[in-house]
Structure 1
């Protein structure tokens, strides 16, 4: 996946191990977007990328998927540098450990496995324990925000210098014209309990007296029953004609949804960064989000220090409902937040900074003695 005309030193080769489905247009997740971009952009930072999508139901693969990943790693030459998506790597420490001294292994953690909502406590604990063993087995860990790096290092007892940061970038985009009155709300997220659409629907029911519509853009996540539960609850609350379950959207269709939006709403219980936050800010759209993990980092501040949106505590549905009422009922607040969002828009970093940060982490690993852990 190198660009034509790019000269890459032979030693700067990274084998990129990805979960199957990264290129599936029906699954336009932040993690998939990030993986696709580093495949495309790392060559401009001097790295030749050899991607491989390993089949399996990650992060809970069957024996065949484990065997295939082990076979793939075993086929690499001694000293090869391998960057593995955490959805794959963190589930199989028993596959990584035998190769950790022979290969230069790094893991890119998009989301700690135990953070996925809807898991029973036993499964979450098992995934968390596997992740700890996997991250201790490899030489380098890459996180997508400073908040995530601190949390991963602290939670798993990793030396902070082993955890590097490569924040997602944001592509330039035209300003969103939105709609009159500020009532065009948009949530871009997979329909999964961690993203909190159930909390959003409950909050919207408390402001049913105000004019608004809300588009839920995203496909189903790991829980196949959750989208149906959301639709049922929206109907039960009398909101079916005001909430649009738009399904997954990408490219021009997603751009059109952003263009029509006045406010992005994200009610997640966990986010290592929140790429949709910067996607909205790139269009001058203010954000209402739960202040979890890396979301405040993604939101940032305008040049004058003002917030380009509203942050509310996670697990406080009344706070989300109150912020929605404030936004919908206060034209001066909407104007102030839109101005701040446009100011923040000019400060966003592009994807070239992501590839630069990741290239720095890979370069360190390339020169690190393989015995160092």
Structure 2
């Protein structure tokens, strides 16, 4: 029997493979899962590979896919694709309510030329001028989207990434933790220029006499040059017995790495939010990071030590302090646990996203 309740439908558009192990894709996956749990019928649509540098063939295919979507259903489009398809977004917006999901402005990616950054800025600003709503993941990204890309603040909704409270419980329960007399450092992130692994190894080299071990978990295929540089630096600094490059790992493996970690460290040159930092804090792990982008919002002073990006000496000092000063580690671990209790959950984030989308049902 017809209950009279209209099914809430949504089309979620993204580039590449939704299973890609990055923070942005993880955000997408968790929001999609949360919306499904809340009763949304979510249609997934991948626009293909190569973003944010799609081939003409991919662009042509994306246009056909998008412009043949059924009208009347809101479309959420990940900014990694939306930002480089302004003409298609403009045409699509004539028949659909398009909601942009921005993890960070494309022009803020590090390691790109000035000309490429300018092209990204112009393209993304044009695309965003056509959408009904912009969803961002941090106050820093909200500010950048407004001031840098010209979006009116009234059209921006902040929906923070969540964490799993269960992770905190798992951390506090008795877990078998291997002990080999060394401090276990964990770094989670794709091996790309922006994540600063070159800086991290250079900062660790002067501390080779101290007892530490570093595990790096993250995709090694996205930036071949950065990965080659990482492997060369491991040999150059004689760290073959100190640094493990694990590549992309399963969620179960990653959880085990967090459980074994004494300190989380990531020397990012920029983050739109920094989900890996937040995940470490959720587990009560003290953090070493930089103050670039939104990281200072994600890592409060009582949960970690932050240094300027690309500042090798300051990072070495922070690492040395964390490795040698047990009181410092314990205090920051306690601080991280206190921050974790206040973190947004994925259920909270999904409910907020649902509220935003509800405005556009049937548009």
If the length of structure 1 is used for normalisation, what is the TM-score?
0.89
1:219 aligned residue = 219
Is the CA contact (8 Å cut-off) linking 1:142 and 1:163 kept in structure 2? yes
Give unpaired runs (5+ residues) of structure 1: 1-6, 301-305
Which string of whole-angstrom CA distances, capped at 9 and with x for unpartnered residues, describes residues 239-291 of structure 1?
A: 12101111111221111111110011011111111111121122211111111
1:234 aligned residue = 234
Alpha-carbon distance in structure 2 between the residues aligned to 1:154 and 1:167 = 19
Relative to structure 2, which stretch is displaced further, 288-297 or 170-179? 170-179
Deviation of 1:116 (Å):
2.0
Asked if 1:16 corresponds to 2:12, the answer is: yes
Give unpaired runs (5+ residues) of structure 2: none
Residue among 143, 152, 155 paired with 1:159: 152
Deviation of 1:180 (Å):
7.3
1:4 aligned residue = none
Relative to structure 2, which stretch is displaced further, 219-228 or 208-217? 219-228
2:30 aligned residue = 37
Is the CA contact (8 Å cut-off) linking 1:189 and 1:217 kept in structure 2? yes
Count matched residues.
354
Is the CA contact (8 Å cut-off) linking 2:14 and 2:46 kept in structure 1? yes
Is the CA contact (8 Å cut-off) linking 1:182 and 1:263 kept in structure 2? no
Relative to structure 2, which stretch is displaced further, 156-165 or 118-127? 118-127
1:312 aligned residue = 307
2:277 aligned residue = 277
Alpha-carbon distance in structure 2 between the residues aligned to 1:15 and 1:155 = 28
Which string of whole-angstrom CA distances, capped at 9 and with x for unpartnered residues, describes residues 186-245 of structure 1?
A: 000000000111110111012222111111111125321211111111211111210111
Alpha-carbon distance in structure 2 between the residues aligned to 1:297 and 1:365 = 30
Alpha-carbon distance in structure 1 between the residues aligned to 2:232 and 2:361 = 52
Relative to structure 2, which stretch is displaced further, 232-241 or 356-365? 356-365
Are residues 366 and 341 of structure 1, via their aligned partners in 2, closer, same or farther at CA, if it must alter by over 3 Å?
same
Which string of whole-angstrom CA distances, capped at 9 and with x for unpartnered residues, describes residues 328-354 of structure 1?
A: 121211121121122223222210111
Alpha-carbon distance in structure 2 between the residues aligned to 1:41 and 1:131 = 27
2:348 aligned residue = 353
2:320 aligned residue = 325
Is the CA contact (8 Å cut-off) linking 1:8 and 1:48 kept in structure 2? no
